[in-house]
Amino acid sequence: MRKPADPPAAPPQAPEADDAALFRQAIGEVRRVHSQTPAPQKPRPRPRARMAEHDEQAALSEFRRGLEAMPIEAGDTLSYHRNELPARIWQRLKRGQFSIQDELDLHGATAAQAEQLLRMFLREAQRAGTACIRIVHGKGLGSDADIPVLKNVVDRVLRQRADVLGFHSAIPAQGGTGAVVVLLSARRPGSP
């Protein structure tokens, strides 16, 4: 007896076609979503406290006008201290009993240069942990202005700094009213 003939074999399908058919069968019916993706936008700027900035600028401007209205004269003594500075430390500063650790001489600088140099010097002194510095500003006798410009700049900048505990014109042996000795607060841990 003869065997019946085998049915003709189906032509082999490409494996990609099988995978695609299996995938479509697994996910079921699909519907197309027609949406447009929004165009990329710039990130919004961080919010600023504009009123606080304005108030601070106004206060600083008023402070500067007050200082300019009553300029310091050539022979005047620079003197200022924060309330938290103990009285005995303040007296020692006035008597010139602190060892000067660093010095900045502003002779020959313009007012703008002096202010920039002084701010950089104070920042570096604070980073280095320096406690007592001397700033030589001169008496302003050779200045074209009627007032000692650098002396007034130094006084204004030092009064604005939170890291300045106090300052006083130097004793005559350290420069007299042509220099100022400054006590700085200790560097806070973690501050740059």
Following CA atoms 44, 46, 47, 52 in sequence, which dihedral angle do they give, to the nearest 10 degrees? -150
Read off the pTM: 0.61
CA distance 186 to 164: 10
Residue corresponding to tokens 């980073």: 127
Domain architecture of the chain: domains with CATH:
71-184 (3.30.1370.110)
pLDDT of residue 69: 58
pLDDT one digit per residue (tens) for the chain, 192 residues: 566 666 665 555 555 668 888 888 888 887 777 777 777 788 888 888 888 888 888 776 776 666 555 677 778 889 999 999 999 999 999 999 999 999 999 998 888 899 999 999 999 999 999 999 999 998 876 666 677 888 988 998 999 899 999 999 999 988 888 999 999 998 655 555
Question: Who contacts 74 (Cβ-Cβ below 8 Å, separation ≥6)?
Answer: 139, 140, 141, 147, 148, 151, 177
Residue corresponding to tokens 């500075």: 85
CA distance 60 to 113: 20
pLDDT of residue 45: 84
pLDDT of residue 133: 95
First to last CA, the chain: 101
pLDDT of residue 120: 95
Strands (E), 56-99: 79-81
As a three-state string, the secondary structure of 93-161 is HHCCCCCCCEEEECCCCCHHHHHHHHHHHHHHHHHHCCCEEEEECCCCCCCCCCCCHHHHHHHHHHHHC
